[in-house]
Chains A and B, each alone.
Chain A
């Protein structure tokens, strides 16, 4: 178990316990983060699990695949550290990860 810090759209930060090897979208959804829609259920088809990663952690994530990269363009709020939470598998090396829920499109 590790922890992640999630900042919602109102700027309120919550700490969530997270099992390693789970994907970040499911961790947030199970943690009750209401703003995570994840409409496609984590199949990289929708981009409604868009988060912005704290730049300090970016290097610890696996690089994104081309589908994730292309799908992020669906959002008007893409930023340099944008990711799709469902495509990130939480690992020991990411413990303490901080993410922000991207603004709604």
Chain B
């Protein structure tokens, strides 16, 4: 049986970064990385941005050139899916029935896009946005597509809506909550993005529920809402979150949960099994609550990867990175720092009408996060406030003319 000192399952952002950082930290042991997609590790964020729009070709998304992995002595095996883990025996089994041994196992599997459960969810022309294959399928159908319905007003849905609008499609966004971005941002930001999308012709419908997808000859033709109305569609894009890909670990003995729980070194409760990235439920020092959370961001994937690489090379450092995120829609660059969930007060800084402003989130008077639209300066300077959990009087924050830097120094 083949055996590696470190076996990484999942060749996405987090897995790739564990592998390359192990070598940067001079890890001399053997390292392999299995991924169930056919590609070597690539960037996921452009899938709903520059790749979908056709501005970037796939070769520009490679996280590392192919030769890199061999040069670093990292065995990357695409197209290999792990289906079972025997933590005691330090062994995994793959979909093809092969078994492999490991010293440490790094679970970096991200998640599968959540599917609609209503009738018609599996018609042709219904797409998720998680992998290159998903987006290639979508792009192949664009020629025949005039009307697109996007189910889910989160970042991915809104990014896809913005690209498809730019490509000349007529786009409707359906959101179950009474505002877009409801899970991830405050109301002021939601209203801003709602208005921006509408101003560009996106039909944003809030507080609506999908009854079923209608189809003809196996292909989607429309979305029937619970109120009975029908939205004709040649394509339906489903962006309603992910289900963390952790079944094999649950089968191996971990309690079923939203992801797999890890400690501050990204260790799971199974011996020598770590988890990183989108699937890792962790206590985040920047979260307002102590409950384990999962973060779906490149920042988190990268910084948790670093925690594991350091741990495995004998330099343990607890996870303590300031969360950040970005999203590009139309000509709006959103940059987020900190975690806003759990805020009890928001301050709008600057004037949204200028399309360059920030929203500052506070809890118990301390700054916990900022959403910055087209204003890099606030994002950069706001980070210091988040890091220091700085208490600042709201009127000071609201004054866009006072640099946040000067408040951090106060």
- B63-71, B128-136, B149-157 - the one binding chain A: B63-71
Contact B326 A70 (CB under 8 A): no
A47 CB to closest chain B CB, in angstroms?
Answer: 8
Interface status of B302 (Cβ within 8 A of chain A): yes
Besides the contacts A26-B60, A39-B298, A46-B324, what 9 more A-B pairs have beta carbons closer than 8 Å?
A29-B62, A34-B23, A34-B68, A39-B299, A40-B45, A41-B45, A41-B50, A43-B326, A70-B376
Interface status of A81 (Cβ within 8 A of chain B): no
Which A residues lie within 8 Å of B101 (CB)?
A: none
* Chain B residues at the A interface, C-beta cutoff of 8 Å: 20, 23-24, 43, 45-46, 49-50, 60-65, 67-68, 71-72, 298-299, 302, 324, 326, 328, 333, 335, 376-377, 379-381, 383
Which B residues lie within 8 Å of A73 (CB)?
A: 377, 380-381
A74 CB to closest chain B CB, in angstroms?
Answer: 5
Contact B302 A37 (CB under 8 A): yes
Interface status of A35 (Cβ within 8 A of chain B): yes
**5 contacts across the A-B interface (CB closer than 8 A):** A31-B65, A32-B67, A34-B24, A39-B298, A73-B381
Contact B380 A70 (CB under 8 A): yes
Out of B20, B302, B335, which one reaches A45, CB within 8 Å? B335
A20 CB to closest chain B CB, in angstroms?
Answer: 16
Which A residues lie within 8 Å of B383 (CB)?
A: 74
Alpha-carbon gap, A66 to B381, bound state (A): 14
Which A residues lie within 8 Å of B20 (CB)?
A: 34
Which B residues lie within 8 Å of A59 (CB)?
A: none
Interface centre among B49, B299, B376, B379 (most CB of A within 10 A): B376
Q: A41-B46, A45-B335, A74-B380 are in contact. Are A32 and B71 (CB under 8 A)?
A: yes
Alpha-carbon gap, A66 to B333, bound state (A): 14
The number of chain A residues touching the other chain, given as a range, is 20 to 34
Which B residues lie within 8 Å of A29 (CB)?
A: 62-65
Alpha-carbon gap, A43 to B64, bound state (A): 17
Taken residue by residue from 24 to 56, chain A's Cβ proximity to chain B (1 for < 8 Å, 0 otherwise) reads as 001001111011010111011110000000000
Contact A70 B377 (CB under 8 A): yes
Which B residues lie within 8 Å of A35 (CB)?
A: 24
Alpha-carbon gap, A66 to B71, bound state (A): 38
Taken residue by residue from 51 to 73, chain A's Cβ proximity to chain B (1 for < 8 Å, 0 otherwise) reads as 00000000000000011001101
Out of B45, B72, B299, B376, which one reaches A34, CB within 8 Å? B72
Alpha-carbon gap, A37 to B43, bound state (A): 11
Closest 4 CB pairs of A and B: A45-B326, A70-B376, A70-B377, A32-B68
Which B residues lie within 8 Å of A67 (CB)?
A: 333, 376
Residue of A nearest to B297 (CB): A39
Alpha-carbon gap, A43 to B325, bound state (A): 12
Alpha-carbon gap, A2 to B262, bound state (A): 47
Which A residues lie within 8 Å of B328 (CB)?
A: 43, 45
Alpha-carbon gap, A44 to B374, bound state (A): 11
B173 CB to closest chain A CB, in angstroms?
Answer: 23
Alpha-carbon gap, A41 to B377, bound state (A): 20
A105 CB to closest chain B CB, in angstroms?
Answer: 10
Which B residues lie within 8 Å of A46 (CB)?
A: 324, 326
Out of A41, A45, A71, which one reaches B61, CB within 8 Å? A41
Out of A30, A40, A43, which one reaches B65, CB within 8 Å? A30
